[in-house]
Amino acid sequence: MTRSSYSSDVKWAVVKEKLAGKLTTKEIMEKYGIKNKSQVETWMRWYKNKELYRFDQPVGKQYTYGHGPEGKSEQEMKDRKMMHLEMENEILKKFMEIAKELNGK
């Protein structure tokens, strides 16, 4: 059995799809070529626990003190944070739409 490694872009896309709730875990796995559902669950746990630095970790590296590789530039870190905030904003907008629909009935 070989280890699979997924880019941080794939990890973020999976989390975004899962939070949107339009696809099942199995459909997401097929779409992104993920072999095991526990991988999706792990990424979701990282997101919920706000361990966002883990999305950029290479396989086998567990950063604790610095929360990630030292080589990241300040601009890369800002871009990553901006992407995360934009994703959260989209999710909140979707939630507000659903809440408005439910209250309107």
pLDDT for 29 equals: 93
Q: Where are the domains of the chain?
A: 8-104
Q: Over the chain, what is the mean pLDDT?
A: 81
The CA-atom distances, in angstroms, between 96 and each of 20, 40, 46, 99, 101 are 13, 25, 24, 5, 9
Does position 31 have pLDDT exceeding 90, yes or no? yes
Query: Rounded to 5, what percent of the chain is helix, strand, coil?
Result: 65, 0, 35
pTM above 0.75, yes or no: no
Residue 55's pLDDT band, with cuts at 50, 70 and 90, is confident
For the stretch 59-75, pLDDT in tens is 666 655 555 555 567 78
pLDDT for 32 equals: 92
